[in-house]
């Protein structure tokens, strides 16, 4: 009996290694995984319906009444983008098309290009996270929460005469009000 256990050790070790590798691989998120708004006022919690959001998770795109397996990614030359074969099903249809995905140059979101169509999706906030503050709105924090007239950060006076970048400036001592 001891001989059989020892003889099986390499097989058990190989099986364990394969299982751990598979678990680690499935835990890695794809480059575009996330939930994205279809429009600025879209509801992020409603995935796959008009007026809601779309989602990419584990190389599956969940669109409006369609689900696509994102297969065979190919790097697009001189662009930070991937071209996928989308194997889709939904509304009693099965089809395959190509789609290119890339991150937006500004803000957090993606651009998805299908043959003849381009979609820009903004990323939804992660559940439980705080939405980003918008400057100039009532939900932005006060500049001076102490409630005094003293600014929160004092600026140091500039010695214009000593700064060669300011040749025409006249040096005047800083005065306190």
- 97-107 confidence digits (pLDDT tens): 999 999 999 98
53-57 vs 117-123, strand pairing mode: unpaired
- pLDDT of res. 129: 61
Residues with Cβ within 8 Å of 35's Cβ and at least 6 positions away in sequence, in order, are: 44, 47, 53, 54, 55, 123, 124
Q: Of residues 158 and 42, which shows the higher confidence score?
A: 42
The DSSP secondary structure of 58-108, one letter per residue, reads TTEEEETTEEEEEEEEEEPTTSSEEEEEEEEEETTEEEEEEEEEEE-SSSS
Instruction: Compute φ and ψ for 30, nearest 5 degrees.
Output: -75, 165
Rounded Cα gap, residues 71 and 92, in angstroms? 21
pLDDT tens by residue, 13-52: 444 344 433 333 444 568 999 999 999 999 999 999 988 9
Confidence of residue 91 (pLDDT cuts 50, 70, 90): confident
Rounded Cα gap, residues 98 and 71, in angstroms? 10
- Give the pTM: 0.58
Which residue shows structure tokens 């394969």?
A: 18
């Amino acid at each position: 009996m001891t001989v059989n256990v020892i003889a099986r050790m390499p097989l058990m070790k190989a099986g364990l290694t394969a299982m751990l590798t598979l678990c680690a691989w499935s835990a890695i998120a794809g480059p575009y995984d996330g939930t994205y708004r279809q429009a600025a006022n879209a509801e992020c919690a409603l995935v796959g319906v008009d007026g809601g959001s779309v989602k990419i998770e584990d190389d599956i795109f969940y669109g409006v009444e369609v689900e696509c397996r994102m297969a065979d990614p190919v790097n697009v030359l001189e662009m930070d983008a991937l071209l996928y074969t989308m194997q889709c099903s939904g509304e009693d249809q099965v089809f395959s098309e190509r789609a290119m995905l890339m991150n937006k140059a500004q803000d957090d979101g993606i651009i998805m290009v299908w043959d003849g169509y381009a979609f820009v999706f903004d990323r939804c906030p992660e559940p439980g996270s705080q939405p980003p503050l918008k400057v100039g709105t009532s939900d932005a924090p006060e500049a001076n929460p102490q409630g005094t007239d003293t600014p929160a950060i004092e600026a140091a006076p500039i010695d214009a005469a000593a700064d060669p970048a300011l040749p025409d400036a006249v040096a005047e001592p800083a005065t306190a009000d």
